[in-house]
Structure 1
Amino acid sequence: MAGKQATPMDALDIASFLDDHGTGVLALAKDSDAYAIPVSYTFDEDDEAIYFRMGFAPGSQKQKYLDDTDHLSFVVYADTDDGWKSVVVEGTAETLGTDSLDAAIVEAMQGLDIPYYQVHERPATDVQFRIVRVQPTRMSGIVEGESQRKRTPAGNVEDGSR
């Protein structure tokens, strides 16, 4: 049985999807090397920008890639009852000082669900936190066609194609 074709999201669907979620994968590049990391974010519909609060330890690889990336990609995706949905944001990044943020952005950043744990064998005091804004140059979203997956009573997903 043939399913429906995947359909693109319009600008309102993209904004709603970004607003409803809080994590994604940020892809950076330095020369011919790629670097991707999971991040928490907040989306501001007023300026159509995405904000990250990122921690950088001394000698951070993440900082080096962020500094050397001219054009980045950010992907947010979710498995929904309607099938997979995803939004790809392409754009440029800028590190901001907290004094340049308006109150609504600061409040949204404080509400991010960011787990606090020690990632490296360094004291947490060595980590500097900065706000990074992605100004999108392109945003696209898609909803997959009719899914062959079924949910079990426990809520797990079974792939009907096997």
Structure 2
Amino acid sequence: MDHVEYVYTVGMDAADIDDYLRSGSHGVLALADGDDAYAVPLSYHYDGERFLLRVSTHDDTGSEKRRYLDTTDTATFVCFAADSSWSIHVRGSVAPWDGTVDEATLNEWFPPFRLFDESVEDVEFTLYELDMGSVVGRRTAD
């Protein structure tokens, strides 16, 4: 291992974590059903108080996401940037958000949704709130 390159990282303090979360918009949500794991890329919105996830559902995949959301006690959301070497893990329970929001605010909070083979009419969104029970961040050392 003499020629493997390394980059030193350090833990982020609460202010750094807050800044990175506020500036980001995407990550991966990891869920579980017993011994079966499921991870899905999602957009998020963080305003300093709540961590919201925009979850889409449509005919084929909606039931799978919801099934895992229903069976997961503690979810992990990972946001990161490989090019600038930082990552944040947010762990906690996840449940449908009980707030309301109009379409203009949704468009402000989240980037445009990327459609694959589904039509716009077939896609529905539900906002989920991830309880930020544990938040850990690391970044490249200065």
Interval of TM-score (by shorter of Structure 1 and Structure 2): 0.7 to 0.9
Partner of 1:72: 75
Give the gaps of 5 or more residues in structure 1.
147-162
1:40-74 per-residue CA deviation (whole Å, 9 max, x = no partner) reads 111020x2x21122111246211110111110000
TM-score w.r.t. structure 1 length? 0.72
Q: For residue 107 of structure 2, what is the aligned residue in structure 1? A: 110
Matches within 5 A, 1:1-162: 5-45=8-48, 47=49, 49-58=50-59, 60-80=63-83, 83-97=84-98, 100-101=99-100, 107=105, 109-111=106-108, 112-120=110-118, 123-145=119-141
Q: Secondary structure of the equivalent of 2:51?
A: strand
Matching residue's letter, 2:94? A
Percent sequence identity over matched residues? 29
How big is the alpha-carbon RMSD for the aligned residues of Structure 1 and Structure 2? 2.6
* Kept in 2: contact 1:25–1:75 (CA 8 A): yes
Runs of 4+ in 1 over 4 A off after TM superposition: 1-4
Aligned pairs, number: 135
Tell me the amino acid that sits aligned with residue 20 of structure 1: S
Tell me the secondary structure at the aligned position of residue 85 of structure 2: strand
Alignment gaps of 5+ in structure 2: none
Q: Give the number of the structure whose alpha-carbon radius of gyration is greater.
A: 1
